[in-house]
Structure 1
Amino acid sequence: MKKLIAGVVLGVGLTAMAHGAGDPEAGKENAAVCAGCHGQGGAKPVMAAYPKLSGLGEKYLYQQLSAIKSGDRQIAEMTGLLNDKSDQDLKDLAAYFNDQAMVVNQADPELIEQGQALYRGGNLASGVPACSGCHNPQGKGNEPAGFPRLGGQQAAYIEKQLKAYRDGERSGTTNASIMMDVATKLTDSEIEAVANYVSGLN
């Protein structure tokens, strides 16, 4: 009987760890202000340059919220919005947004071939690795590593972030050095193509 109880306790503990330390219901209560820019549930931003937050990965979302609150990641539109949020509030918000469904966009057919080639195979000549190696062949990301889901994300937002990494404007956060190294090898046309491709990747 003791072994059975221990097994149940261990199983519940592992399940909690797998799903993170955030409470989606508590996060929902704090997410109303986010909808003004990111849309209900973080799925339909009001501007193309704003990111979708839905289904990005709980670990990634928590890391980014923490970095924004601490000032390690500077986003003018979010200045002060997280100042009164506790660490648990940030975990709850991350859990809530991760539980929401990502709505996939319609990619521009003319850019799909080039974008797909970069996403799946990289560019051997310039040393660009395949995006799918970290972000999953279907664009679902890698939750344990904290790599975000890309499939369905706003193309304009992806473009903006890749250029920010390339120009050294986005740094100081987890995994930023990896993305800075990749982005410095990408041309504007490659960035446009791969951003377009992932926006429609499902």
Structure 2
Amino acid sequence: MKKVVWIASLLMLATTGMAQAAGDAAAGKVKSAVCAACHGADGNSGANPLWPKLAGQHPEYIIKQLHDFKNNKRTDQTMAPMAAPLSEKEMADLAAYFSSQKRTIGEAAADKVELGEQIYRAGTPNGVAACSGCHGPTGSGNGPAGFPGLNGQSAAYVAKQLKAFRDGTRTNDLNGMMRGVTTWMKDEEIEAVSQYIQRLH
């Protein structure tokens, strides 16, 4: 009986998260015009690899990041003023639109793939956990659980974020998980796994 109650509680939490993330994709498309300058009209950020792809990202994750930018829990000189005036509905609408778009998949540097795949799927001997444990074998992530989709994300952006978690300049990760994971990562490991993620699908 306790197991049934526990499972029911998890399902309720998951569906609550999805309800909070619900939005109007059509309204979000209109609102996204200002986002397109950096993130692209369809959320695939072709102009600069340091700007993340939003296409296909879980709406729950997009909303959380917008909240964190707005509330100074995640710092970025460009995104903070962009997120500041957004209402809950506007955040949900933007998330609905970008999550409905298809993310493009890139290529990886051939000399980085072997090490990158090893780290992503099995971790490292010195204790770095496998990325696939939370983000899934194809990098699709888990929205209700708070794990973003990584598949096809720009290698430059992924590497920048991993280094930010490692040096403590980004601290809005769930229970400090990413800061813990990246503590022992070397630069070459970050570059390799970032390249692998860019081609993952």
TM-score of the two chains, using structure 1 as the length reference: 0.87
* Structure 2 residue aligned with 1:183: 182
Q: Does 1:153 align with 2:188?
A: no
- Asked if the contact 1:45/1:51 (under 8 Å) is kept, the reply is no
Q: Which has the larger radius of gyration?
A: 1
Q: Which runs of 4+ in 1 moved over 6 A?
A: none
> Aligned partners of 1:17, 1:195: CA distance in 2, in Å?
28
Structure 1, unpaired ranges of 5+: 1-13
The one-letter code sitting in structure 2 at the alignment partner of 1:52 is K
Q: CA deviation at 1:71?
A: 1.3
The one-letter code sitting in structure 1 at the alignment partner of 2:165 is Y
Q: CA deviation at 1:48?
A: 1.1
Alignment of 1:30-179 (within 5 A): 30-123=31-124, 125-171=125-171, 173-175=172-174, 177-179=176-178
- Asked if the contact 1:165/1:176 (under 8 Å) is kept, the reply is no
> Aligned partners of 1:18, 1:80: CA distance in 2, in Å?
26
* SS of residue in 1 equivalent to 2:45: coil
Structure 2, unpaired ranges of 5+: 1-14
- Asked if the contact 1:63/1:174 (under 8 Å) is kept, the reply is no
The one-letter code sitting in structure 2 at the alignment partner of 1:191 is I
> Aligned partners of 2:162, 2:147: CA distance in 1, in Å?
15
Q: CA deviation at 1:19?
A: 9.0
> Aligned partners of 1:35, 1:195: CA distance in 2, in Å?
24
> Aligned partners of 2:46, 2:55: CA distance in 1, in Å?
10
* Structure 1 residue aligned with 2:23: 22
* SS of residue in 2 equivalent to 1:76: coil
* SS of residue in 2 equivalent to 1:40: coil
* Aligned-pair identity (%): 45
* SS of residue in 2 equivalent to 1:56: coil
Q: CA deviation at 1:18?
A: 6.6
Q: Deviations over 1:18-55 (max 9, x none)?
A: 79321111111110011101111211331111110111
* SS of residue in 2 equivalent to 1:113: helix
Q: CA deviation at 1:58?
A: 0.8
* SS of residue in 2 equivalent to 1:43: coil
